[in-house]
């Protein structure tokens, strides 16, 4: 079964791999989507494999407290000649929570990317990422530029520079230990109706997620309450609520961006989110452009424009991928990672 920390989710039904979820691409072609589970030292990383499974996919990384469902509407529009492995980061979605006593931070996420590269024996990795995922992908690309053959960042490119880092970290550590104690006690979190769940998701980050698409994030993010029938609780690790302790130096990020040599695609939403001074982002983007292989697009929409209105974005990404083809002959799916049954919470009504 899938385990969310210590809380066990409901029954897994077992259709065959061929009966995994099916979606339609932009040209009407049927696209397969398989539930997968990859072993890691603390448990497993879950996710979805979209499209062709016999070639190396593009690794898709979601944002903070989201899950791989964030790509449900985008990937079917661009999955044709290449597949996508969209993962749930540790503590998110159906993936295992990290062990007691540990903290979620970007360094662990970068190590996770390398674990996946090693697991599949990928000669290089292609990255598509949103929000926090964009920071992870960017950082991995600047420390391992030779390992990345293309980079796609959606509404976030770099880890943001924090002000008042000392006082902020003091509060963060205190709050983290409180959330850790809640996780250790295995107390069921507050429960809500499905309507309340969807409203909470759609109202976060200034209303970034359209209500009608909030179920794509809710599906992998909640479980039925045992104490309050008809209600649900969020299963993501509460320790995720406390953000990064590390503060990156702007000059290091700019110089690191100059190390990136792979093709880079950046899409910013007009009504997106900027967590720091805009000039910090512009400096990094300008450094990426120095290679002559970086394109920047500004599109209508909110921070979750890839989920709310993915059509224009999908067309631009398809064109980018057609221009920058890679050898994908090594690194397809492994039989051991295919989940025998598709995970369904039968009680959920979206």
Structural domain contains residue 242: no
Q: What is the pLDDT of residue 147?
A: 97
Q: What is the pLDDT of residue 28?
A: 52
Residues 6+ apart with CB under 8 A from 231: 191, 192, 193, 224, 225
Residue with tokens 């420390």: 143
Query: Beta 148-154 vs 84-87: how paired, if at all?
Result: unpaired
- Collapse the DSSP code of 85 into the 3-class scheme (helix H, G, I; strand E, B; otherwise coil) and give the result: strand
User: What range does the domain containing 151 cover?
Assistant: 3-163+248-337
pLDDT digits (tens, 9 = 90+) for 197-251: 999 999 988 899 999 999 999 999 999 999 999 999 999 988 888 776 678 899 9
Structural domain contains residue 237: no
Residues 6+ apart with CB under 8 A from 42: 90, 96, 97, 98, 99
Structural domain contains residue 204: no
Q: What is the pLDDT of residue 24?
A: 52
Residues 6+ apart with CB under 8 A from 135: 106, 156, 157, 158, 159, 160
Four-CA torsion 218, 314, 326, 49, nearest 10 degrees:
20
Structural domain contains residue 73: yes
Spatial CA neighbour of 130 closest among 188, 32, 59, 233 = 59
- 202 catalytic? Reply is no
Q: What parts of the chain have a pLDDT lower than 70?
A: 1-31, 244-245, 340-350
Structural domain contains residue 35: yes
pLDDT digits (tens, 9 = 90+) for 148-171: 999 999 999 999 887 777 777 778
Structurally, the chain folds into a number of domains equal to 1
**Cβ-count burial of 228 within 10 angstroms (0-12 exposed, 13-18 middle, 19+ buried)?**
middle
Q: What is the pLDDT of residue 192?
A: 97
Structural domain contains residue 243: no
Residues 6+ apart with CB under 8 A from 162: 168, 244, 247, 276
Q: What is the DSSP letter of 69?
A: G
**Cβ-count burial of 112 within 10 angstroms (0-12 exposed, 13-18 middle, 19+ buried)?**
buried
CA distance 53 to 56: 8
Q: What is the pLDDT of residue 340?
A: 65
Q: Kindly provide the b/e burial profile for residues 277-296, where b requires at least 16 CB atoms within 10 angstroms of the residue's own CB.
A: eeebbebbbebbeebebbee
First vs last C-alpha separation in the chain? 23
Catalytic residue of the set 95, 96, 126, 131: 131
CA distance 319 to 297: 13
- Continuous segment of H or E residues that includes residue 21: strand 21-24
Q: What's 46's domain CATH number?
A: 3.40.50.1820
DSSP line for 290-334:
TTT-EEEEEEEEETTHHHHS-HHHHHHHHHHHHHS-----S----
Four-CA torsion 17, 26, 268, 34, nearest 10 degrees:
0
Structural domain contains residue 345: no
Angle at the Cα of 172 from the Cα atoms of 131 and 92, rounded to 5 degrees: 40
Structural domain contains residue 200: no
Query: Beta 43-50 vs 84-87: how paired, if at all?
Result: antiparallel
């Amino acid at each position: 079964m899938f385990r969310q920390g210590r809380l066990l989710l409901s029954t897994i039904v077992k259709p065959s791999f061929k009966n995994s979820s099916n979606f339609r691409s932009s040209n009407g072609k049927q696209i397969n989507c398989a539930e997968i589970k990859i072993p890691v030292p603390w448990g497993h990383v879950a996710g979805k494999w979209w499209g062709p499974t016999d070639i190396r996919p593009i690794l898709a990384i979601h944002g903070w407290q989201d899950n791989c469902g964030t790509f449900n509407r985008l990937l079917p529009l661009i999955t044709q000649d290449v597949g996508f492995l969209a993962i749930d980061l540790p503590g998110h979605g159906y993936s295992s929570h990290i062990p007691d006593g540990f903290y979620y931070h970007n360094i662990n996420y970068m190590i996770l990317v390398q674990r996946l590269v090693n697991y599949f024996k990928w000669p290089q990795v292609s990255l598509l990422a949103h929000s926090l995922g964009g920071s992870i992908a960017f950082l991995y690309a600047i420390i391992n530029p030779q390992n990345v053959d293309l980079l796609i960042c959606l509404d976030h490119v770099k880890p943001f520079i924090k002000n008042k880092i000392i006082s902020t970290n003091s509060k963060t550590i205190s709050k983290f230990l409180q959330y850790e104690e809640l996780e250790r006690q295995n107390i069921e979190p507050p429960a809500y109706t499905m309507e309340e769940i969807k409203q909470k998701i759609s109202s976060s980050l200034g209303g970034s997620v359209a209500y009608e698409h909030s179920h794509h994030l809710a599906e992998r993010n909640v479980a039925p309450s045992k104490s309050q029938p008809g209600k649900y609780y969020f299963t993501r690790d509460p320790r995720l609520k406390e953000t990064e302790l590390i503060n990156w130096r702007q000059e290091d990020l700019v110089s690191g961006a100059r190390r990136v040599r792979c093709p880079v695609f950046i899409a910013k939403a007009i009504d997106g989110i900027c967590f720091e001074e805009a000039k910090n982002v512009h400096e990094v983007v300008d450094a990426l452009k120095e290679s002559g292989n970086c394109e920047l697009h500004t599109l209508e929409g909110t921070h979750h424009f890839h989920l709310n209105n993915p059509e224009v974005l999908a067309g631009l990404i398809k064109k980018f991928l057609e221009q920058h083809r890679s050898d994908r002959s090594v690194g397809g799916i492994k039989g051991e990672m295919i989940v025998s049954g598709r995970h369904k919470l039968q009680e959920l009504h979206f």
